[in-house]
Amino acid sequence: MLSRTADNLFWLARYMERADFLARTVEATQRLAALPAVYNQAGTEWESALESSGAGDPYRAKYEVVEPDKVMDFIIFDAANPSSIRNCIELARTNGRAVRTALTAEMWDAINGAWLELKRFEGSRTRDDAARREEITHFLDFVKQTSLVFDGSVYRTMLRDPSYWFSRLGVFVERADNTARILDVKYHVLLPETEAVGGSLDYFQWTAILRAVSALTAYHWVYRESIKPWLIADLLILRLEMPRSLLSCYENINRCLDSLGKAYGRQGAAQRQARRVMAQLENASIEEIFQQGLHEFITAFLDDNNKLGAAIAEQFLV
C-alpha cells in the first residue's frame, strides 16, 4: 500500500472520531451549563469545553471573552478552528475522496452524507436563539449518528487488510487522546477551588462527563456504587472492558500494529512504543496513579500517545 493511501485512511478515521467526541463534548457542556445556579457557580463549563477540544489557544486568539454562544459556534462551525466539527467533517471527506477506491460504498455514503448535511445546515442557520439551539441539537445528534454509521460500516464491510488496520489504528489513537483530555480537564478546569471534591457540583460534572463518553450505564454495571472520582478514573483508564478506556484503546492499537507488522513482514518503532505504553497501563493501579498525580499521569500519557503518532507517521505514512 502507498504511504499516501495509508495516511489518508489513518487521518480519515481520526477526523471522524474527533467530530464525534466534539459533538459529545458540546452536549455535555450544555447539560452542565443548564444546571440550576446553586450547582453552577463556577462559569467554567465552556472554558473546559475549549480546553478538552484543544481549541483554547485558537479561541483566545480570536475572542477576548469566553461566551457560550461564541464557544459553541467556534467548536462546531468556525473554519478558523482547525479542530472544529465542520473542519473535521470536511477534512474527513477530503481524505476519503483521495482514497475513494479503498473505501466501501457504505463508508463513503456516511462521510459524504455528513458533508452534505453540514452544508445544508450552514445554509439554513437561523438567528432566532430558540430555533438555533434546536437546530444545533439536531446537528450534534446527526454527527454522533454519522460516526456510529461510519464505524459500523468499517467494521462490517471492509476486508481485513492494511486498509482496515490503518483505519482502525486512527480511531484508537484519537480515542485514547480524547479520553485522556476530558479526564484531565475535569480535574484542572471544571471544578472550582471553592467546591469540595465529592460535592454536589462535582457529582453533576462527573455524571455529565460519563454521559459524554457513553459510560454512565457502564459505570453502574461495573461498580454498582454512587459516582466516585477515583472509580471513574479507574473505568476510563484501566478497565479493559470499557471501549473508551486508555487500556482498551492500547490493546486495540497493539492488535492493529501487530497485524500491519505481519502484513509488511517487519516490526518497528511504532510497535515498540505501543507495547511500552500498554505495559505501563497493565502494570498501573488507580491508587498509584492518584499518588503520582492524575494530571501528571495524563500529561505523560498524552506525550507518549503523541510519540506513538509520530512513530506511526515515520514508519508507515511518509
Buried b (16+ CB within 10 A) or exposed e, 136-145: beebbebbbe
- Provide the pLDDT for residue 308: 97
Answer whether 0.85 is exceeded by the pTM: yes
- Provide the pLDDT for residue 198: 47
- Provide the pLDDT for residue 69: 87
- Rounded Cα distance, 179 and 188, in Å: 15
Question: With helix as H, strand as E and coil as C, how does the chain read?
Answer: CCHHHHHHHHHHHHHHHHHHHHHHHHHHHHHHHCCCHHHCCCCCHHHHHHHHCCCHHHHHHHCCCCCHHHHHHHHHCCCCCCCCHHHHHHHHHHHHHHCHHHCCHHHHHHHHHHHHHHHHHHHCCCCCHHHHHHHHHHHHHHHHHHHHHHHHHHHHHCCCCHHHHHHHHHHHHHHHHHHHHHHHHHHHHHCCCCCCCCCHHHHHHHHHHHHHCCCHHHHHHHHCCCCCHHHHHHHHHHCCCCCCCHHHHHHHHHHHHHHHHHHHCCCCHHHHHHHHHHHHHHHCCHHHHHHHCHHHHHHHHHHHHHHHHHHHHHHHHC
Q: Are 54 and 82 within 8 A, CB to CB?
A: no
- Rounded Cα distance, 37 and 220, in Å: 27
- Rounded Cα distance, 87 and 109, in Å: 18
- Grid cell 485514547 is found at 176
pLDDT per position in the chain (318 positions), as tens? 789 999 999 999 999 999 999 999 898 888 877 766 544 445 577 888 888 888 888 999 999 888 888 999 999 999 889 989 999 999 999 999 999 999 999 999 999 999 998 888 877 666 666 777 788 888 999 999 999 999 999 999 999 999 999 999 999 999 999 999 888 876 655 444 444 444 555 677 788 778 888 888 999 999 988 888 889 889 999 999 999 999 999 999 999 999 999 998 889 999 999 999 999 999 999 999 988 888 899 999 999 999 999 999 999 988
- Provide the pLDDT for residue 265: 85
Residue 165 burial (CB count, 10 A): 25
Query: Where are the domains positioned within the chain?
Result: 3-317
At 33, list the grid cell. Answer: 451549563
- Grid cell 479503498 is found at 102
Buried b (16+ CB within 10 A) or exposed e, 67-89: eeeebbbbbbbbeebebbbbbbb
At 6, list the grid cell. Answer: 495509508
Closest among 55, 30, 41 to 181, alpha carbons compared: 55
